[in-house]
Structure 1
Amino acid sequence: MPLDPRRSPSDLGAEQQAEPVPGEAPARTGNAVSIAGGVAVLRAALRNVPGGPGVYRMLDRRGDALYVGKARSLKSRIQNYTHPAGLSNRLRRMVAETATLEIVVTAT
């Protein structure tokens, strides 16, 4: 098995799943991932998201990018993801897997 550069040497022993931090990772039930966990992450992040232009990255619990997007209004764009009823199945799965949101503010 190839080494994963994101893991520290202490992680290379027996495979163990870390306990999720409440509000920071989607809740899991078996193999299904709850969309409520991803929505909670996005709503929490919205408190610090500016309304201007920028780039955002949705990351899963391993830190892998699920999506990289740009928006004229970051707050408005990210807020759209917090209403799952209006999202396609693909976007609902993406939101459900979201554990972290990274923001880069840009001039345009």
Structure 2
Amino acid sequence: MLLLPTSFIPPVARADDAKWTKIEKLYNTYCVQCHGIERNGTGINSKFMTVQPRDHTDPKEMGKIPDEEIIKAITYGGISVQKSILMPAWGKVLTQQEIYELKDYLRHVCNCGGESK
């Protein structure tokens, strides 16, 4: 039997992919309406908003945001970080672990590293 190099995915890569897939489902459930399926701030609701949702794919801008601010925005809503009052507070909906995973996912999406503590 001949195995081609592309047919083998290391177990670590699969685990990592599974991790992002799980967190991506959270993002798609809670964030996509405003931040968009492309994660670039152009969700279906964005055209009705006076404060535009953040572009999570912008490494320059996302790289400037401390992890604490991302966690605060997810937990307490946009108003807690001087953004839109329309961004809900997810702190009573999501677990603390899910909030931290979403923060890590945003760092992954922007490919910006950021503070990532």
TM over 0.5: no
Structure possessing the higher relative contact order (Cα contacts under 8 Å, 6 or more residues apart): 1
- Which one has a larger percent strand, Structure 1 or Structure 2? 1
- Which one has a larger percent helix, Structure 1 or Structure 2? 2
TM-score, structure 2 normalization:
0.27
Q: Which has the larger radius of gyration?
A: 2
